[in-house]
Structure 1
Amino acid sequence: MSDNGTKNETPTDKTAVVSSDESISAETEADGAVQRTPGQLDVLVQGVALFSDGYNIQIIGYMNTVLAKLYPKQMTAEVKARLSNSILIGDIFGMLLFGLCIDRFGRRVGIYLTTLFLVLGIVIATAAHGVTVEGMFWMMVIGRGVAGVGAGGEYTVCTSQAVECADSTEAMRKRRGMLVAVATNAAIISGFVASSIVSLIVIAAYKGVPHDGIWRICFGIGIILPLGIFFFRLRLMDSTQYQKHAIQHKIPYKLAIKYYWKPLLGCCSAWFLYDAVVYPFNLLAPTLVAGFSNNQTMQESIGWSALINFFALPGAFIGALLMDRIGRRQTYALGWSIVCVFGFVIGGTMYPLNSPSAFPAFVTLYGLFQTFLSVGPGDCNFLVSSESFPTPLRGHFLGFAAAIGKVGAAVGTQALSKCLVSFDDKLKGQQVVFLIGSAISVVGVLCVWFLIPNHPQTLEEEDVRFKAYLEENGYDTSQMGLKG
């Protein structure tokens, strides 16, 4: 990719690009098993794993409300932030670790290890006990951190597999943006929504009375899907793109960074800014909603925040439909621009909105704020951060960009949580939070427009271009691809 955000001028072997589909169909055996051409189901099954990640990430936002009712003295703002950030910190390690792992050892290896970490972490968090309440919270933090390593790894494993499967035939390639957006962002947001529904059902089963059983059940349910789809996912093979272009030894990091520094900067910046807004606004939704009334029940607070988070789901599908029609950068910028408008409107009218009659208007505006976060950067981050880089280093760069995003999530959650409680007037804190979110959106528009590259028509096109660049710079490409 060139420095001006357009495709590089390194010559592309057109024959190699054209023959991509044929080479994919021609592969018949690997490790003794027949390899068929991937279909849409192979793309979408990655979404089931990411659905589980969305559930496990978001469930703490609702359980914080339950835990605050159960342990009002011990559940301080610091403990609440620690519980929310623990899985994000685990995510960062998982994204970096498995980004390296899946490029070096293959996508399927990542499936084994991410599932192991995810299941182990959920078990620890669900079974959390301690001599003191503080000790129990620390065990919960550790468990969610371990689960975060697995969830972060799933980002790189699932997204890499999804984009490579979606590029396997001409018909699917025309809908690559839509398929990947549905299998990634839409799936994760569906997990967010599912976490709210499960929370409400379990709380209702306890008749709205705070109980330790509520958070244990809600945490424990997160283990079902990872185990349920584990054996099905093991039947999926490494993509033909990976088998053809993998670099498992002597990875040319210096050349790769020199060639891809600008799109890497763009992807990292866009993901950092997005997560700095979306994660705190998701996790703080119950707190923001409760700030309008001191008399809301636990179900009402979670129910309203669930409705707000639900608005992001149609946004994910709208963005998926736009992706292949108007382009990645355009969808990115459109989403950020509209988020900016809604954030300034909410921030500017926070006091007039603070009345029982205006509360539905606040929920609607807040929901639309979430919708367009999902339309633009929510959908585009996964796709652009995987399309912009070659197959042998896709996990590296995708994992790094996603990890930087989670740094943004941790920073945003910590900063906005403190901002929310730093004013004596609750509404003033909420107003400032929305204005900060809008200011970040302005930076997001500029970032994607000037740093995000145009996407390649095929993944093979980018792989051939990168290989030619390596050869021009004296790198031995004869060892690329899986041997034997």
Structure 2
Amino acid sequence: MKPLFSELYKDGMSHIISTRLSNAYLIGEIFGMLCFGFVIDKIGRRTGIMFATLFLVLGIIIATAAHGETQLGMFWMMIVGRGVAGFGAGGEYPTCGTGSAEASDETAYVRRRRGILVAMSTDFAIDLGFVVAGVVALIVLAAYDERVSAGVWRISFGLGFVLPVTLFFFRIRMINSTQYRKHAIKQRIPYWLAIKRYWKPMLGTSLAWFFYDFVTYPFGLFSSTIIGQLNPNNTLTQNIGLGTAVNCFYLPGCIVGGLLMDRIGRKQTMTLGFFLWAILGFIIGGALKPIQSILGLFIVLYGIFNSLGEMGPGVATFLCGAESFPTPLRGHFLGFAAAVGKAGSAIGTQVFTPIQSSFADVEKGTQAVFLIGAGFAAVGGIVSWFLIPDRESDLESEDEKFRRYLEENGYEGAFGESLVEEVKSTTFRLDR
């Protein structure tokens, strides 16, 4: 909706407000990831995902109904709503990341295909949301005969209410995974012992996620802006449509990356994706002038650039974050790594416009962004290769090793859900 806001609210829509609209959601996500990462390890995956959905719906309602005495006041109300929605969406990361990984551990047949299954239920779903958001905006614009109107963005935002509300009725019937019911630690969590054992994968997954989000989120969020700058004569519909077309390239990258994770390994796929991403970024940045003179060529290369990011770190961050840590603290560590990643996306979104604006020539500003992004991608590849472990795909093995490690270091806490909770869970499954 940013291109529409720029036309509709010339007095209130500035570079600062534009950045804050993006960062409000991202900062909300950071708090949601940290909070829900803690909650789902303490009180369960099912409870966490239900509350995450409720916050998401509340934020959508506030943003859709945003009003103010001035345009600036309306945007601040929208920023608040997006922050609340971001808090709920942030909760989706640890809940869905842990839930999908643990659900795929139930049988050996499914476990062998965990890479593609987790890729489809996490990163592919996120990227499909980017594409559908653009398609929805185009449909709503068509319904308004391409007239710039407040109804376009309010309807587009409001339609986001439908899916989470629908999913809530399915999520309320979920149960906690077998791994969680068996290995959960709800009291006296041994944080220091866990950090001593898992500091290296925690550092690796967090930094890899940071570098990935620092590069991919600004490029994804500003795809319509970039294309609009390279083609200043395009209409609003054309800019949104071309941006959506570019976002479609995310999807095959997720599928290829999911298949590669099952074939060559998680960290191997992440490292390969980072380096291919960096190489293409340097090529586009170095030869931007001849490339951007042919719009079709630029869109294809830009789309492949985004696809390579999803093929490697995009899909592997979730699974590496889930498999590198034991079940009792999987939510904590995965939520923390995702939060560090979102900090990277907030920083990347914040610096994207100033970097472009610091150059008098738009082409040179876009070129600088590509080259900087490629450099960060290369560093991400180095981090993922040296700091992320090549873990066994069997979650139970790591859980048993962690339990023995705690016992050897004198830990005497209880594992698993209480007897009452186990009975309730069993009864609920029988009722279903």
Q: Taking structure 2 as the reference length, what is the TM-score of the superposition?
A: 0.96
User: How many aligned positions are there?
Assistant: 419
Aligned to 1:435: 371
Q: CA deviation at 1:300?
A: 0.7
**Contact 1:280–1:417, Cα closer than 8 Å, also in 2:** no
* 1:278 maps to 2:216: yes
Aligned to 1:480: 415
Identity %: 53
1:474, 1:455 → 2: CA distance?
25
Unaligned runs of 5+ in 1: 1-62
Pick one of 227, 231, 234 that aligns with 2:169: 231
Pick one of 123, 144, 162 that aligns with 1:206: 144
| Deviations, residues 392-440 of structure 1 (Å, cap 9, x unaligned) | 0000000000000000000001111211122110001000000011001
Aligned to 1:293: 231
* 1:136 maps to 2:74: yes
Q: CA deviation at 1:345?
A: 1.0
Q: In the TM superposition, what are the counterparts of 1:83-162 in structure 2 within 5 Å?
A: 83-162=21-100
- Letter of the 2:386 partner, please give it: F
* 1:426 maps to 2:362: yes
- Letter of the 2:124 partner, please give it: A
**Contact 2:11–2:71, Cα closer than 8 Å, also in 1:** no
Aligned to 1:457: 393
1:354, 1:160 → 2: CA distance?
41
Aligned to 1:268: 206
- Letter of the 1:482 partner, please give it: E
- Letter of the 1:332 partner, please give it: M
Aligned to 1:222: 160
Pick one of 341, 349, 353 that aligns with 1:405: 341
* 1:71 maps to 2:9: yes
2:40, 2:398 → 1: CA distance?
19
Q: CA deviation at 1:284?
A: 1.0
- Letter of the 1:371 partner, please give it: S
Q: CA deviation at 1:116?
A: 1.4
Q: Taking structure 1 as the reference length, what is the TM-score of the superposition?
A: 0.86
Aligned to 1:176: 114
Q: CA deviation at 1:233?
A: 1.4
2:292, 2:175 → 1: CA distance?
54
Q: CA deviation at 1:82?
A: 0.4
Unaligned runs of 5+ in 2: 420-432
| Deviations, residues 271-322 of structure 1 (Å, cap 9, x unaligned) | 0000001100011111110111221100111111111111011100010111
SS of structure 2 residue aligned to 1:229 = helix
2:391, 2:67 → 1: CA distance?
49
| Deviations, residues 147-190 of structure 1 (Å, cap 9, x unaligned) | 00000001111111110000100110111111111110111111
- Letter of the 2:52 partner, please give it: T
Q: Which has the higher helix share?
A: 2
Aligned to 1:39: none
- Letter of the 1:280 partner, please give it: P
Q: CA deviation at 1:255?
A: 0.4
- Letter of the 1:137 partner, please give it: F
Q: CA deviation at 1:457?
A: 2.8
Q: CA deviation at 1:222?
A: 0.8
| Deviations, residues 130-160 of structure 1 (Å, cap 9, x unaligned) | 0000000000000000000000001111111
**Contact 2:323–2:393, Cα closer than 8 Å, also in 1:** no
1:336, 1:153 → 2: CA distance?
26
2:319, 2:202 → 1: CA distance?
13
- Letter of the 2:282 partner, please give it: F
SS of structure 2 residue aligned to 1:291 = helix
Aligned to 2:426: none
- Letter of the 1:321 partner, please give it: L
1:158, 1:417 → 2: CA distance?
32
Farther off after superposition, 405-414 or 200-209 = 200-209
**Contact 2:202–2:333, Cα closer than 8 Å, also in 1:** yes
SS of structure 2 residue aligned to 1:475 = coil
Q: Which ranges of 4 or more aligned residues in structure 1 deviate by more than 3 Å? A: none
- Letter of the 2:393 partner, please give it: Q
| Deviations, residues 80-136 of structure 1 (Å, cap 9, x unaligned) | 000011100000000000000000001111122111111110000000000000000
- Letter of the 1:160 partner, please give it: T
- Letter of the 1:147 partner, please give it: A
Pick one of 316, 320, 336 that aligns with 1:380: 316
- Letter of the 2:327 partner, please give it: T
1:208, 1:427 → 2: CA distance?
29
**Contact 1:390–1:466, Cα closer than 8 Å, also in 2:** yes
